[in-house]
A and B are shown apart, each in its own frame.
Chain A
Amino acid sequence: MELFSLFISAIFINNIILNKFLGMCPFMGVSRKTSSALGMGGAVTFVIFFSSLITWGLFEYVLEPLNLQYMDLITFILIIASFVQLVEMIIKKYSPSLYKALGIYLPLITTNCAVLFVALENIKQGFSFVESVVYSLAVPIGFTLVLIIFSAIRERLDIADVPKPLKGNPVAMIVAAIMALAFSGLAGLV
């Protein structure tokens, strides 16, 4: 039951974008088309899930026994950067259309603070392996969910009659604020 609560709260209540305001760059940049948002969500999910599990293992079995806890940040950054290179290589080879759609945002996953946040949070909260698996899966699912909902709204906004000064990013920011308010209503869910 505790794992289920962790899963639900990471997706809806403590959503990485709308509650913690992390990963705002891809949230604004790759939310113009639902297909790109889906691809970005998939890539971020892959990177967060696998890099978090590896960083958790490295911390528990290498850094802690060797008393190298102070090296956690540089270790996690290098692991995440290596993973992003791997994901870029796979997408480049097997999905040219997705590679074109993601553009500059693909290598920028490295600097996506949401990825580093999950790796650090797993350590800070003292999660066990199973809890880390659940948390590392739930956070990117929440990220992808919000990204897809937001991209669908932005596609509708493109054809809507928006006042000229609010066109583009300003109205998108207003929509994001309303979405954050709506998600905060789920606070008592678990």
Chain B
Amino acid sequence: MQFIAPLLFLGFLGGVYASAYYLNLKTPKPEGCDDVDVSCGSCSISSCGLHPSNKELIVEVKS
């Protein structure tokens, strides 16, 4: 019981998150919002994949 309870509880929480993630993934994005993920340019963390200086890299990877 000492080991099973945390594993079961963690599995339950993981299931809740996976369901929420799946439902969100299935919800279609509104028109014109397809590239929202790569439109960030606010902070100065240049190592972030969303930083404008890495935009070319993202396009290269996509193509």
Residues on A lying within 8 angstroms of B by beta carbon are 25, 28-29, 62, 66, 68, 71, 74-75, 78-79, 81-83, 85-86, 88-89, 92-93, 96, 99-100, 103-104, 169
Contact = CB atoms under 8 A, between A and B. Distances in A.
Contacts of B27: 89, 92-93
Contacts of A28: 42-43
Interface of B: 5-6, 9-10, 13-14, 16-17, 20-21, 23-24, 27-33, 36-37, 39-40, 42-44, 50
Nearest to A79: B13
A29 B42 contact: yes
A85 B23 contact: yes
Given A78-B17, A82-B20, A92 B29 contact: yes
B40 to A, nearest CB: 4
B24 A85 contact: yes
A83 B29 CA distance: 18
- Where chain A touches its partner, the secondary structure class is helix
B18 to A, nearest CB: 9
A81 B31 CA distance: 25
Nearest to B33: A100
A75 to B, nearest CB: 6
Contact of B40 (A74, A92, A104): A104
Contacts of A85: 17, 20-21, 23-24
Given A92-B27, A96-B31, A99-B30, A71 B20 contact: no
B43 A29 contact: yes
Given A66-B5, A68-B5, A78-B14, A99 B24 contact: no
Contacts of A103: 36-37, 39-40
B46 to A, nearest CB: 14
A29 B37 CA distance: 14
A100 B17 contact: no
